[in-house]
Amino acid sequence: MEAPSFFPACSFQGLHSTFQGGFMSTDFLESILSLVFPPLCSVCGEELHGEKLICSTCFADVREIPPPVCEVCGRPIKKGKICRECKKGREFDVVRGYGLYEHPLKEIIKIFKYRHSPSLGKRLARFLYLAMEKAPVLFKVDFITPVPVHFLRRMERGFNQCDVLAHELSELTGIPVRNVLYKKKITLPQALLSHDKRKTNLRGAFRVKEEIDGKRILLVDDVLTTGSTLEEAARVLKENGAVWVGGVVLAVG
């Protein structure tokens, strides 16, 4: 049976061969869709122009923590050299963060962490590198160690954001990564707990799985709030022979 004159037979055959022959590729479909529904920045909602998830403007709007900062934890302070918390004593030696945990860095970290977006790791690792430059002693380490998550949490998210950051930072610094810590128990999210409960929540959560005697270690985490996570990790590392433990984070809350 011949096709009606207003739908030539060759049109049906051509359309069929296009799909059968694979000419309508995924990339082609995505390019067509992007013309109709252009990808938008997950932070500001503006149209993306070749970037992934977050626009260059939002990344450029992230500001460094202005001085003065505490010489130990890197938090902003109004006067003196060491903040009140660090005067009480810390398990870690030096920590630095790039920015404050506020817009747009706060949203960028949440997208990276909770929306399965490890591709942002390379861009975020640049912030870690710049934070390290504020305290050059952080470069004088034997290896980088990401703060671990429990394997069930890793399965839930699909990745450990700190592990991604650590490996991307290693590419920038040339410092090797060693996953010497593991988390043996699930803990409540630190953000839901008071200052005092954060310390008890993490007590005994980390274990060392390799020989680290005499080593200088750099911990990588995403956010420093009270510092309880880095303190507990540093405590365990030093108990197992580490002689110096520093830390670098994306944001200070």
Give the pLDDT score at 17.
Answer: 39
Q: Is residue 21 part of a domain?
A: no
* Helix 105-114 × helix 121-133 angle, to 10°: 130
Q: Is residue 217 part of a domain?
A: yes
Q: Is residue 226 part of a domain?
A: yes
Give the pLDDT score at 191.
Answer: 64
Number of structural domains in the chain: 1
Burial of 2 per CB tally in 10 Å (0-12, 13-18, 19+): exposed
Give the pLDDT score at 32.
Answer: 64
Give the pLDDT score at 150.
Answer: 86
Give the pLDDT score at 34.
Answer: 58
pLDDT averaged per 10 residues in sequence order, the chain, 253 residues: 42 41 54 70 93 94 97 96 96 98 97 91 98 98 96 83 98 98 79 66 88 98 94 97 99 95
Q: Is residue 18 part of a domain?
A: no
Give the pLDDT score at 190.
Answer: 63
| pTM value > 0.85 | no
Q: Is residue 246 part of a domain?
A: yes
Q: What CATH number has the domain bearing residue 240?
A: 3.40.50
Range of the domain at 175: 63-252
Q: Is residue 111 part of a domain?
A: yes
Give the pLDDT score at 194.
Answer: 62
CA torsion angle 118 221 244 177 (round to 10) = -10
Q: Is residue 10 part of a domain?
A: no
Report how far residue 21's alpha carbon sits from residue 79's, in angstroms, rounded to the nearest whole number: 70
Q: Is residue 31 part of a domain?
A: no
